[in-house]
Amino acid sequence: SRYWPILPAAGVGRRMMADRPKQYLLLQQRFLLDHTLECMLSYPDFEQVVMVLSEDDPYWPQSDFANDPRILRANGGAERCHSVLNGLAALDGLATDDDWVVVHDVARPCLRHSDLDKLFSVLVAPGAILATPTRDTMKRGVIVDSSGKVRIDHTVDRVQLWHALTPQVFRYAELRDALTTCLAQGYEVTDEASAMEYCQQFPLLVEGRADNIKVTRPEDLALAELFLTQDR
C-alpha cells in the first residue's frame, strides 16, 4: 500500500495576528509552507502530496511549488476536519482503501525525515501519530469566582499525558469513515486521531522530536527559524 500525504493549509491563523495566513509568513526568505512541502516532496516514499488550500488563496501562486506536478490541490472547508475530508475526496480513485494517508499540519515546517522513518517503522492499523511526552507538571484548574480567577484543582498524572503532533497516519477508508461519522454525530474533532478514537479505534503514540513545533503564535516563528538552521 502507498502513502499519501495530505497537508491542510486552509486556515486563517488568527492567533498569529499577522497580515496574512501563517503558512505564508516568511522563514529564511521562503513561505513557511514551502519548507513543509520541501520535506514532504523530498521524502522517498511520497510520490504526490495533497495540498488543501482556500479556494481564493491569493498567495499560493507565489509558492516555489505552485506548478509542481506532484501536487494535487483540494479546497479548504469551514473547519479543519472539512478540509481534511476534502483532501481525502481528492484521492478518490487514486488511493485504495488500505493505502495510508499521512495528515500533516502545514504549520509544522520543522518535521524531519528521521521522524517519518520512525513513524512508518512501527505503523500498524488503525494507525499512528507523532507525539511528545509532557515535560511539565500538569494541573487541572477550576474557575474560582466571577472574575475568572483559576485555582489548582489537582495535579494530573503526567506519566500518561502526551502532546499530539502531526503527521498522523491512518488507512484511507478508515479515516474518511471516522471523520464522516464525527461530522454526522456532531462530535468536535480536534485532530484526526480524535475522530478515530470516537470510533473506538486507538492509534499508536510514537515519540517524535520536540522541535516539530506548530507555528501558532508570533514568537514561534523565530524558534522555527532556529530549528530549520540546525543540522538536518
- By CB under 6 A, name the binding residues for ligand C5P: 8-11, 23, 52, 76-80, 83, 105-107, 214, 216
Smallest separation (angstroms) from ligand C5P to the CB of 151: 28
Question: Cα dist. 62→36, 57, 216, 228 in Å?
Answer: 15, 11, 22, 21
Instruction: Name the residue with the smallest CB distance to ligand C5P.
Output: 11
Those residues whose C-beta lies under 8 Å from the C-beta of residue 93, and which sit 6 or more positions away, are none
Q: Which grid cell is 182?
A: 464525527
Smallest separation (angstroms) from ligand C5P to the CB of 42: 19
Measured from the CB atom, the residue of 80 and 176 that comes closer to ligand C5P is 80
Smallest separation (angstroms) from ligand C5P to the CB of 65: 15
Q: Which grid cell is 61?
A: 501562486
DSSP state of 187: P
Element holding 3 (H helix, E strand):
strand 3-9
Measured from the CB atom, the residue of 17 and 122 that comes closer to ligand C5P is 17
Smallest separation (angstroms) from ligand C5P to the CB of 187: 17
Please say whether the beta carbons of 109 and 28 come within 8 A. no
Measured from the CB atom, the residue of 53 and 116 that comes closer to ligand C5P is 53
Measured from the CB atom, the residue of 150 and 210 that comes closer to ligand C5P is 210
Tell me, rounded to whole angstroms, the distance of Cα 202 from its chain centroid.
18
